[in-house]
């Protein structure tokens, strides 16, 4: 597919997807959301990709939010449809079989914060700024923010951030568990690629089953979640990766997984 607002590239089995509207601080409009889903379909189907990094073009913003100029004059039914589109795209990213990492390189506000939360985890630039400022515009987060933020930082902190429309810096995002680590701006992508490379060196069938078990188990009770885990554990033994991984361990050598 030909993209206008998104681009992606791959090196060493790592795909990097960019929201590519730097003049608009990578704001999300309808076309950008549609292109994001298409890009993730492509990387998901690419057998030469094991890990996906999501970031924003330029050095000012990951995604500064949804496109307010686009949203301003929507009707109630149009606004609901726009919300459902964003939710659908972000759920698609969340359910991507391959591990996803958000490299947050600047403003990560509103829809941008919601997009980052759809990834498996987030690494932030020291200059990154996070927030859900929607109530200051007379609306509320509509791309999953009311649900994912409370799951990551707890309902009390999520309510404080959403009700107050407050922005927080990277250090506070790290403290409350919204991001996993902070890197200097010029080292952010290298830091994230190092983490992605470490993931690429593991058994990918097991990595993807682990992702499924975590995501599925998080949405149910602990007893059912344990069945997801044991079923996935058993499935690992249908893959040649299990035999190679354990044989390599016993032979005290690195595993040689087939790509």
- pLDDT value at position 259? 79
The CATH number for 218's domain is 1.10.12.10
In the predicted structure, residue 22 carries a pLDDT above the cut 80: yes
165 in the same domain as 94: yes
- Alpha-carbon Rg of the chain, whole angstroms? 19
145 in the same domain as 80: yes
Dump pLDDT digits (tens) for 223-238.
999 999 999 999 999 9
- pLDDT value at position 258? 87
Dump pLDDT digits (tens) for 95-121.
999 999 999 999 999 999 999 999 999
- The C-alpha angle with vertex 162 and arms to 157 and 163, in degrees rounded to 5, equals 100
Position 97 in a domain: yes
Cβ neighbours, 10 Å, residue 221:
8
Q: How far is CA 19 from the centre of its chain?
A: 13
The chain-wide mean pLDDT, for the chain, equals 96
- pLDDT value at position 178? 98
185 in the same domain as 151: yes
Position 158 in a domain: yes
Q: Is 9 a catalytic residue?
A: no
Catalytic residue among 45, 94, 114, 184: 114
| CA–CA gap between residue 100 and residue 24 (Å, rounded) | 24
State the residue range of the domain holding 242.
204-250
Please say which residue of 158, 184, 200 terminates a domain: 200
Position 109 in a domain: yes
Q: How far is CA 259 from the centre of its chain?
A: 24
**Helix, strand or coil for residue 102?**
strand
Position 259 in a domain: no
Q: Is 45 a catalytic residue?
A: no
Dump pLDDT digits (tens) for 46-89.
999 999 999 999 999 999 998 898 899 999 999 999 999 999 99
In the predicted structure, residue 185 carries a pLDDT above the cut 90: yes
Catalytic residue among 88, 134, 219, 251: 134
- pLDDT value at position 158? 98
Give how many domains the chain has, as a whole number.
Answer: 2
- The C-alpha angle with vertex 20 and arms to 215 and 28, in degrees rounded to 5, equals 65
């Amino acid at each position: 597919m030909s993209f206008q607002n998104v681009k992606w590239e791959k090196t060493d089995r790592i795909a990097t997807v960019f929201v590519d509207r730097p003049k608009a601080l990578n704001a999300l409009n309808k076309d950008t959301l549609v292109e994001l889903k298409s890009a993730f379909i492509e990387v998901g189907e690419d057998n030469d990709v094991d890990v996906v990094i999501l970031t924003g073009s330029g050095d000012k913003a990951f995604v500064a939010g949804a496109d307010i100029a686009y949203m301003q004059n929507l009707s109630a039914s149009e606004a609901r449809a726009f919300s459902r589109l964003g939710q659908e795209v972000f759920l698609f990213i969340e359910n991507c079989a391959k591990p996803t990492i958000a490299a947050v390189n600047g403003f990560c506000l509103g829809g941008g914060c919601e997009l980052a939360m759809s990834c498996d985890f987030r690494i932030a630039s020291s200059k990154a700024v996070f927030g859900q400022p929607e109530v200051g515009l007379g609306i509320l987060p509509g791309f999953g923010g009311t649900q994912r933020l409370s799951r990551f930082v707890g309902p009390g902190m999520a309510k404080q951030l959403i009700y107050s429309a407050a922005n927080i810096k990277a250090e506070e995002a790290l403290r409350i568990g919204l991001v996993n680590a902070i890197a200097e701006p010029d080292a952010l992508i290298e830091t994230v690629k190092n983490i992605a490379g470490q993931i690429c060196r593991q058994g990918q069938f097991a990595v993807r089953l682990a992702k499924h078990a975590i995501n599925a188990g998080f949405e149910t009770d602990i007893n059912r979640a344990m069945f997801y885990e044991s079923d996935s554990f058993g499935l690992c033994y249908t893959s040649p990766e299990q035999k190679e991984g354990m044989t390599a361990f016993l032979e005290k050598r690195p595993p040689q997984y087939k790509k």
